[in-house]
Each structure stands twice: as structure tokens, then as C-alpha cells.
Amino acid sequence: MSLLFAALYYFATLVLLGGLAYRIRGYARTPAPLLIPTTPAPTTQTGVVLRMAREVMLFESLFKSNLWIWGLGVMFHAGLALVTLRHLRYFTEPVWGWVALVQPFGTYAGFLMLAGLAGLWGRRLLVERIRYISTPSDHLMLILLIAIAASGLMMRFVTHTDVVGVKSFFLGLLAFNFQPLPDDGVLYVHLGLVAALLIVFPFSKLLHAPGVFFSPSRNQVDNPREARHIAPWAAEMEK
């Protein structure tokens, strides 16, 4: 079983990193031939960085749209961020000081994450127009995340797994020095689902995470009269 999970995690990491690199390279290499920032847009590069920061950290546009989706989205994403940071302790020895600081928030953030996910799924099931636009994969993605959060919280608050063993397993993976994984069903479920999440990331709507940084309507400077913006394939037409 330990070997199986070791292989699974190497595979998942490769797919995640390779897949994301491939996607990001694709986005970066595809030209944006016209300036299409959604205006009013910043007129300087600094302004664009700030706009993007507000978009990524505060979900500014979503806030303008709908407070329910915004609130639930923030709960889930903030919860996930804290939980992920907390999990760094299983991959670092000694544990970094700031990760130790996050620890108490990170454990309870799991509930925040779960509540956000449940709310988002509720919307998807109950609001007619959101139900209309949902595909099976939209539901499955939420179920996957809910199962990850629930199995994680279970180990933290109910069945306690051998975290020292888990940590030595992952440190072993990082150092290519295999250590056994504690024999624990809930842990297997949790780790299996997380690996699945890593694997589907580059093939699914989770691409919204890198995608937002490449969105021309958000990352372009509004300066068309001052500087000429032209794609290589469009410049060919000038010759």
C-alpha cells in the first residue's frame, strides 16, 4: 500500500506540474491581438497589478455580481488556502515558523472550507439557473472537494491518524527515501482523493486559477492611444 501511494503521488505531481506547465505555456504563447481590457481599466502597469491582486485576493468582480456566490466562494478559497498552508508542516522539517503560526487557524479553516463548499453545492442544486448551467463534472468536483475536507477533518477531530508517520512518508518521498505510510483507511481515502484532485487539475475548470492571470480583459493596460499593441501574426499583415 505504501508503495502504491508513493507511486501515485509521484505520478500525480508529474501530471500536475507537467500539465500546468503545458497549459500556462499555451496561454503565454497565444497572442492577444487587440486591447480588450474591460474598462474602466488601469492606465498603468502598476494599476493592472493592483487590479489583478484585488481580483485574486478579494474576488472584486464576483463581489460586484452576487454577494452569495462571493461569500461562499471566499469561505471556500480562504479555508482552502489556510488548510493548504497548514499542511506544509507535513513536508518541512523543521517546520517553518510562520507555518506553525498558521496551524491553529488552519485546523478550523477546514470547517470554513466545508461550509463554503456545502453552500456552493446547495446553490448549484437549488437555484434554477445555476442548476441549468451545471454539468455532472461541476457536481463531481464539489463532491470531491467535500470528501477531501470531510476526510481530513475526520482524521483531525475524530479518528486521529499517525501524523508523525504521515510526515515521515512524505519527507521520504521528497528525499527519494521511502518510508511506510501508516495503515489507516480514512488516510487512504483522503490521500487518494487529493491525488485525484492534483491529476484532474490541468484538465478541468480548475484551470481558472492560472487562467485568471492571462485574462486579457483583466491583465491589459488601458493605453491604446499612447502605445501600439500588435500581435506577431497581425504585424505580418503590415509587410
Q: What CA–CA distance (Å, rounded) separates 9 from 173?
A: 8
Using CA atoms in the order 180, 182, 185, 189, what is the torsion angle rounded to 10 degrees?
-60
**φ, ψ dihedrals at 38, nearest 5°:** -70, 115
Instruction: Choose between 132 and 176: whose C-beta lies nearer to other proteins.
Output: 132
Instruction: Choose between 126 and 158: whose C-beta lies nearer to other proteins.
Output: 126
Site for other proteins in 199-238 (CB under 8 A): 203-205, 207-208, 211-212, 214-218, 222, 224-231, 233-234, 237-238
Q: Does 167 bind other proteins (CB under 8 A)?
A: no
Q: What CA–CA distance (Å, rounded) separates 155 from 83?
A: 14
Query: x/- binding map, residues 110-149, to other proteins, per CB under 8 A?
Result: -------------x---xxxx-xxxxxxx-x---------
Three-class DSSP category at 32: coil
Query: x/- binding map, residues 42-81, to other proteins, per CB under 8 A?
Result: xx---x-------x---x-xx-xxx--x---x--------
Residue 201 near residue 217, CB atoms below 8 Å: no
Q: What is the CA radius of gyration of the chain?
A: 21
> What sign for the dihedral angle of Cα 84, 90, 91, 94?
positive
Instruction: Choose between 164 and 231: whose C-beta lies nearer to other proteins.
Output: 231
Residue 96 near residue 88, CB atoms below 8 Å: yes
Q: What CA–CA distance (Å, rounded) separates 206 from 86?
A: 21
Q: Does 196 bind other proteins (CB under 8 A)?
A: no
Q: Which of 6, 12, 16, 41 binds other proteins (CB under 8 A)?
A: 41
Least distance from other proteins to the Cβ atom of residue 110, Å: 22
Interface residues toward other proteins, by CB under 8 A: 23, 26-27, 30-36, 38-43, 47, 55, 59, 61-62, 64-66, 69, 73, 123, 127-130, 132-138, 140, 203-205, 207-208, 211-212, 214-218, 222, 224-231, 233-234, 237-239
